[in-house]
């Protein structure tokens, strides 16, 4: 349809959350003026949210980085520091010489890179190739480390592949669903709307969340566990399913292994015992287990409320147990659907931007795999696993890691234990940041490279359904800013490693040729409708995984007999409340983009949600300025009283650098993946006032 208001309309894929809405971006005079949803988008089916549709004005913000910046004066910590504008040639020469010096003096393992889950598959693949081939180390990671790495780990353990077993459209073909630790009507609004519509049509929903989220109001049952006790909840559900004969013995016998050990473990998790651990009434555990177990088809959704825990990866394995016990996996309407946080959290890891694996999770210490890439890239490659994000910061503080290249991640705002991250960034000898805006992290950079937003670049994102989808530029990057693909390939050339691609499409051809799981992927084939991996050489894709067998040796899924263990932090006399963090509808993660749009008029700050009982005890009223103190940090914000959170728990978001919620989060991480425990932080909350009170007061309640 032609439209007299627009110069051009470009079909692309949203760069906000992991739902992967297909969008039509309409431009006029070199700006995006409107975005509408593509009617044929498989994940969004003609719908999108206020972030995808409206939050695009940041692309032409006057604060966009439009030229390379170099620290001036060049000495770190010399005081009076600022940045001066520089040419690309000067910035490139500085990066090449400094990285060269550091590599010569300390070896390649003194350098590390972070790829970005906000960037395209081709950008991430190029970045890991630069770090591996041009630098010579496996010190490459990406921000999925801090969100869904436990999901990836656990699903590979249980089923074989790192991704959802089905598609979001399964929610239209299912009778029941359990939603665990996720608030999709705010964090993944289009999937949230799809789940809500399904409940209105009669789908029976169970929500498991310490907060009474919007979808909890649409649920048949809402289970509010104590933060950090998800494992006990899942074990309790499995116990009831087994006890009451709701399992699928044929499926268990034919397609799984490890059932006996699980059966033995489950004996201890009767509803009464689970109630003691989780605080959820035993009858609710029974009700939820029956809703799931009795449904012909049922889906399991989960978010970061499951993964960002000390035992997050184990809980995902326990979720997989429930699906296998009841045979509810591998068919339409019975899917396991992790709600991935960022637009390309799936893809950045798929592409091998990880310290231990090449594309499609093939280990770096596997001789055959390493040789394949050595042959393709024409350089020797390290067999030694690299550092994860949290280990990079530890190594920097210890003086072993000297240089980092951080691409599209504001680690100083979003990573846990901000004080430690800051110390690490200060300890580096050389830091390159590749960004679209200056942020908390770029303040520590030696060189800042101006990069491009998703509306300015070409490539593919892989959404939470394992679907490769095309990204196409609607507008040009501002000023001298370049696409990330051009920056990385050009820098790699300057560092002495020619990648040999002119376009992202050519990079995808290489990815396909070196990765059997993506063998049939090309930009042409991805087209308007996308391809869900694995994609065979003839282009056949896989909307449903594990229809006949699991992708593990023997084709059998693996039950995990993992007991409940307490979280890394617990409330005590000094820190009596448990803080949970999460997203709000109007903003997205560090807020770098959404705070620079009119979304700020809809929501201009963070606040702490607190139960009326706790508020009364602490003499706190809605609107009061409060202090939140944890074992590692202290922040201030305002309070809002709500009964949507249970007594003993408080909640806030992390979108505003003025609040810097992550100062409160300590160093506890998932035991298998190093994903931080953002969701259980013991805190002390108390009111503060601008001036010392001179008048004695009575309690407000």
Partner 1 sequence: MRVTVDGTELEVGAGATMLEAIRAAGTDVPTLCYDERQAPFGACRVCLVGVEGAPGPLPACTTPCRDGMAIDTQDETSRRVATAIVELVLSELPSAPAPHTELAAVAAKLNVGTPRWPGPTHPVEHDERHPYLAFQHELCISCGRCVRACDEVQGAFALSATGRGFGANIAAGLDSGFLESSCVSCGACADTCPTDAITENTLLQL
User: Which parts of this chain interact with partner 1 (CB under 8 A)?
Assistant: 1-5, 28, 33-34, 36-37, 39, 45-50, 53-54, 185, 189, 193, 196-197, 200, 585-586, 598-599, 601-602
Please tell me the distance from the alpha carbon of residue 322 to that of residue 325, in angstroms, as a whole number: 5
Helices 121-129, 484-494: inter-axial angle, 10-degree rounding: 20
Q: What's the closest the beta carbon of residue 33 comes to partner 1, in angstroms? A: 6
Name residue, tokens 């993944």.
188
Task: Of 464, 445, 423, give the one whose Cα is nearest residue 171.
Answer: 464
In three-state secondary structure terms, 283 is helix
Name residue, tokens 């890239």.
377
Please tell me the distance from the alpha carbon of residue 608 to that of residue 203, in angstroms, as a whole number: 33
Q: Which is nearer to partner 1, 48 or 390 (CB)?
A: 48
DSSP code string of 90-117: HHHHHHHHHHHHHHHHH-GGGEEEEE-T
Q: Which is nearer to partner 1, 6 or 88 (CB)?
A: 6
Q: What's the closest the beta carbon of residue 201 comes to partner 1, in angstroms? A: 10
Q: Which of 219-233 are b and which e, b meaning 16 or more Cβ less than 10 Å from the residue's Cβ?
A: bebbbbbbbbbbbbb
Structure tokens, 42 = 């498989």
Q: What's the closest the beta carbon of residue 204 comes to partner 1, in angstroms? A: 17
The total of other beta-carbon atoms located within 10 Å of residue 380's CB is: 10
Q: What's the closest the beta carbon of residue 410 comes to partner 1, in angstroms? A: 25
Q: Which is nearer to partner 1, 216 or 618 (CB)?
A: 216
Q: What's the closest the beta carbon of residue 209 comes to partner 1, in angstroms? A: 18
What lies within 8 Å, CB to CB, of 160 at 6+ separation is 546, 550, 551, 552
DSSP code string of 74-92: SSTT-SS-EEEE--HHHHH
Residues, the chain, total? 701
Q: Which is nearer to partner 1, 183 or 542 (CB)?
A: 183
Please tell me the distance from the alpha carbon of residue 396 to that of residue 399, in angstroms, as a whole number: 5
Q: What's the closest the beta carbon of residue 53 comes to partner 1, in angstroms? A: 5
Q: What's the closest the beta carbon of residue 691 comes to partner 1, in angstroms? A: 33
Q: Which is nearer to partner 1, 39 or 634 (CB)?
A: 39
Q: Which is nearer to partner 1, 24 or 286 (CB)?
A: 24
Q: What's the closest the beta carbon of residue 200 comes to partner 1, in angstroms? A: 7
DSSP code string of 145-175: GGTTHHHHHHHHHHTSSSS-SS-GGGGGG-S
Name residue, tokens 């799981």.
517
Please tell me the distance from the alpha carbon of residue 316 to that of residue 684, in angstroms, as a whole number: 30
Task: Of 282, 368, 303, 297, give the one whose Cα is nearest residue 332.
Answer: 297
Q: Which is nearer to partner 1, 193 or 505 (CB)?
A: 193
Please tell me the distance from the alpha carbon of residue 145 to that of residue 312, in angstroms, as a whole number: 12
Q: Which is nearer to partner 1, 52 or 352 (CB)?
A: 52
Task: Of 50, 9, 15, 140, give the one whose Cα is nearest residue 451.
Answer: 15
Contact 453, 58 (CB under 8 A): yes
Q: Which is nearer to partner 1, 199 or 490 (CB)?
A: 199
Q: What's the closest the beta carbon of residue 46 comes to partner 1, in angstroms? A: 5
Strands (E), 551-680: 557-558, 577-581, 608-610, 625-629, 634-641, 649-652
Q: What is the DSSP letter of 632?
A: S
Q: Which is nearer to partner 1, 173 or 493 (CB)?
A: 173
Q: What's the closest the beta carbon of residue 206 comes to partner 1, in angstroms? A: 18
Q: What's the closest the beta carbon of residue 54 comes to partner 1, in angstroms? A: 5
Q: Which is nearer to partner 1, 34 or 672 (CB)?
A: 34
Q: What's the closest the beta carbon of residue 475 comes to partner 1, in angstroms? A: 15
Q: Which is nearer to partner 1, 23 or 571 (CB)?
A: 23
């Amino acid at each position: 349809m032609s439209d007299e208001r627009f110069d051009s309309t470009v079909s692309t894929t949203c760069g906000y959350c992991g739902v992967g809405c297909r969008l039509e971006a309409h431009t006029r005079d070199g700006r995006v003026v409107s975005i509408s949803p593509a009617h044929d988008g498989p994940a969004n089916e003609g719908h999108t949210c206020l972030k995808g549709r409206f939050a695009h004005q940041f692309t032409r913000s006057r604060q966009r980085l439009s030229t390379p910046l170099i620290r001036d004066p060049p000495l770190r910590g010399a005081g009076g520091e600022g940045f001066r504008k520089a040419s690309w040639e000067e910035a490139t020469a500085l990066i090449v010489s400094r990285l060269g010096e550091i590599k010569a003096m300390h070896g390649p393992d003194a350098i590390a890179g972070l790829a970005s889950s906000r960037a395209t598959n081709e950008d991430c693949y190029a970045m890991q190739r630069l770090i591996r081939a041009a630098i010579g180390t496996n010190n490459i990671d990406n921000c999925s480390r801090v969100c869904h790495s436990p999901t990836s780990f656990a699903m590979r353990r249980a089923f074989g592949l790192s991704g959802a077993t089905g598609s979001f459209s399964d929610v239209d073909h299912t009778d029941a669903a359990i939603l665990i630790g996720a608030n999709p009507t705010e964090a993944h609004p289009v999937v949230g709307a799809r789940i809500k519509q399904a409940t209105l049509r009669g789908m029976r929903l169970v929500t498991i969340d310490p907060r009474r989220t919007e979808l909890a109001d649409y649920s048949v049952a809402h289970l509010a566990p104590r933060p950090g006790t998800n494992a006990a909840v899942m074990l309790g559900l499995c116990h009831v399913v087994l006890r009451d004969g709701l399992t699928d013995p044929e499926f268990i016998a034919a397609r799984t292994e490890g059932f006996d050990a699980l059966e033995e473990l489950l004996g201890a998790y009767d509803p009464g015992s689970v109630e003691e651990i989780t605080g959820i009434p035993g009858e609710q555990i029974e009700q939820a287990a029956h809703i799931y177990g009795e449904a012909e088809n049922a889906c399991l959704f989960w978010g970061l409320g499951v993964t960002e825990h000390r035992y997050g990866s184990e809980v995902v394995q326990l979720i997989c147990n429930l699906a296998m016990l009841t045979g509810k996996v591998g068919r339409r309407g019975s899917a396991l659907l992790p709600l991935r946080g960022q637009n390309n959290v799936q893809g950045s890891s798929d592409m091998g931007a990880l310290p231990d694996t090449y594309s499609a999770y093939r280990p770096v210490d596997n001789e055959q795999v390493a040789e394949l890439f050595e042959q393709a890239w024409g350089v020797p490659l390290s067999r030694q696993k690299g550092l994860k994000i949290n280990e990079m910061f530890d190594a920097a503080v210890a003086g072993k890691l000297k240089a980092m290249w951080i691409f599209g991640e504001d680690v100083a705002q979003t990573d846990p234990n901000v004080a430690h991250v800051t110390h690490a960034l200060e300890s580096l000898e050389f830091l390159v940041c590749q960004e679209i805006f200056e942020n908390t992290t770029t303040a520590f950079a030696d060189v800042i490279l101006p990069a491009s937003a998703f509306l300015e670049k070409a490539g593919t994102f892989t959404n939470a359904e394992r679907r490769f989808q095309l990204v196409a530029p609607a507008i040009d990057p501002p000023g001298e800013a370049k696409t990330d693909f051009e920056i990385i390939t050009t820098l790699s050339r300057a560092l002495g490693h020619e990648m040999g691609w002119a376009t992202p499409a050519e990079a995808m051809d290489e990815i396909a040729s070196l990765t059997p799981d993506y063998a049939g992927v090309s930009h042409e084939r991805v087209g308007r409708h996308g391809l869900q991996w694995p994609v065979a050489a003839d282009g056949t894709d896989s909307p449903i995984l594990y229809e006949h067998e699991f992708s593990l040796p023997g084709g059998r899924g693996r039950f995990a007999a993992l007991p409940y263990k307490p979280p890394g932090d617990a409330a005590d006399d000094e820190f009596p409340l448990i803080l949970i963090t999460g997203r709000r509808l109007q903003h997205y993660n560090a807020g770098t983009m959404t705070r620079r749009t009119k979304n700020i008029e809809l929501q201009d700050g963070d606040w702490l949600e607190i139960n009326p009982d706790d508020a009364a005890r602490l003499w706190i009223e809605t609107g009061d300025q409060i202090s939140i103190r944890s074992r590692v940090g202290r922040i201030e914000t305002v309070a809002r009283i709500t009964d949507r959170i249970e007594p003993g728990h408080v909640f806030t978001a992390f979108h505003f650098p003025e609040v810097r919620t992550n100062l409160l989060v300590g160093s506890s991480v998932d035991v298998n993946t190093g994903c931080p425990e953002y969701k259980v932080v013991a805190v002390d909350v108390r009111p503060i006032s601008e001036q010392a009170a001179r008048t004695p007061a009575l309690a407000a309640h």
